[in-house]
A and B are shown apart, each in its own frame.
Chain A
Amino acid sequence: AQTVTQSQPEMSVQEAETVTLSCTYDTSENNYYLFWYKQPPSRQMILVIRQEAYKQQNATENRFSVNFQKAAKSFSLKISDSQLGDTAMYFCAFRKYNNNDMRFGAGTRLTVKP
């Protein structure tokens, strides 16, 4: 079974600074997808970024980027120029290549301080 581990229950960062959230996963699969979802206090689950395991290039979406280390099974999220609106729970998720069973980590609560 695939497991996803987020070892940082809570983190904080000053506005405009950079923060990195950690995620590791365990799988025997070679092809799969990884995701970061954001859940603000409004409770929505918002897709932040995704990475296909067969792509070596790290995904980037504006201020959000990932450091995907396939051999180490690590998938960290970097948020640059943090904004107050980035305050949320962040969930790392894993999904096999041709399978809809998505496994989520326990989440990291990020607080951006003014």
Chain B
Amino acid sequence: DAGVIQSPRHEVTEMGQEVTLRCKPISGHDYLFWYRQTMMRGLELLIYFNNNVPIDDSGMPEDRFSAKMPNASFSTLKIQPSEPRDSAVYFCASSYRVSQPQHFGDGTRLSIL
């Protein structure tokens, strides 16, 4: 079975540019999560969806961040405009039911210059 697929694997862009990170969850999973990992703050949950509906976005740092899930097999995390402090590894994860473990993608390493 294919795991959670994230793209791109690496992204380097200049401050002020729009950044879009993409995620394809495991087929059949009805929960999708976006995390951010930094040295200072570790792994933080940004937002999660259930059946394509955002359930909790309290971890989204500010209005520059937005996430969508237009269908069960695709989600995006967008940063506009990007800032150097957004540099981090962004993970997408999915799970089947709230009781099941979350399976992570390989992450996107984002560098904002």
Chain A residues engaging chain B, CB cutoff 8 angstroms: 33, 35, 37, 42-47, 50, 91, 97-102, 104-107
CB of A59, distance to nearest CB on chain B (Å): 12
Given contact pairs A98-B99, A100-B31, A101-B56, enumerate 20 new A-B contacts (beta carbons under 8 Å): A33-B99, A33-B101, A35-B101, A43-B89, A43-B107, A44-B104, A44-B106, A44-B107, A45-B93, A47-B103, A91-B43, A97-B99, A99-B98, A100-B33, A100-B48, A100-B50, A100-B55, A100-B56, A102-B102, A104-B43
**Residue B112 lies at the interface, judged by CB distance under 8 Å to chain A:** no
A44 to B99, CA, bound (A): 22
> Is A101 in contact with B45, judged by CB distance below 8 angstroms?
yes
Q: What are 9 A-B pairs at a CB distance below 8 A?
A: A33-B101, A43-B106, A44-B106, A45-B91, A45-B104, A98-B98, A99-B98, A100-B48, A102-B45
Task: Please provide the chain B residues from 46 to 82 with a CB less than 8 Å away from any CB of chain A in the complex.
Answer: 48, 50, 55-56
**B48 surroundings in chain A (CB, below 8 A):** 100
Q: Check: B109 CB closer than 8 A to any chain A CB.
A: yes
A108 to B55, CA, bound (A): 31
Contact of B98 among A46, A91, A100 (CB under 8 A): A100
**Given the complex of chains A and B, what is the CA–CA distance between A33 and B98 in angstroms?**
11
Please measure, in the bound complex, the distance between the C-alpha atom of A104 and the C-alpha atom of B109, giving whole angstroms: 19
Query: A42 contacts which chain B residues (CB < 8 A)?
Result: 106
**Bound-state Cα–Cα, A45 to B50, Å:** 21
Residues of chain A contacted by B98 (CB below 8 angstroms): 98-100
- Look across to chain B and name the residue whose beta carbon is closest to the beta carbon of A97: B99
B33 near A47 with CB under 8 A, answer no
Shortest distance between the CB of B102 and any CB in chain A (Å): 7
| In the complex, chain A residues whose CB is within 8 Å of the CB of B56 | 100-101
The 4 closest A-B pairs by CB, nearest first: A45-B104, A104-B43, A47-B101, A43-B107
